[in-house]
Amino acid sequence: VLWLHTGHVVLNKHLHCVKKAESPDCPYCNNNPETVEHFLLVCPQYVQECHILRNALRRNANSTLFLLTQPMAVGPLIGYVNST
């Protein structure tokens, strides 16, 4: 969860910054940077996992800030990351 909060994760946006990926873009979406927000809330590759996360946290799951800072989000967030 700390890595998601800092953005230092194995997502292309960060990997591109440290010269470990050719492009910052999501491998599943055209011309969309693979950021933490994209990974958690937007990417169509993870629709099913996102649905489970949103069911667990209701409307709060639409906020990256909530997902990364609220103790009640930790369990569902870890479940989301593990399932992707």
CB 34 within 8 A of CB 14: no
Q: What is the pLDDT of residue 47?
A: 95
Percent of the chain with pLDDT over 90: 81
Q: Which residue ranges of the chain lie beneath pLDDT 70?
A: none
pTM: 0.89
Look at residues 23, 66, 15 and name the one whose alpha carbon lies nearest to residue 41: 66
**CA–CA gap between residue 70 and residue 30 (Å, rounded):** 31
Q: Domain residue spans in the chain? A: 2-83
Q: What is the pLDDT of residue 1?
A: 74
Q: What is the pLDDT of residue 30?
A: 83
Residue with tokens 């933490």: 36
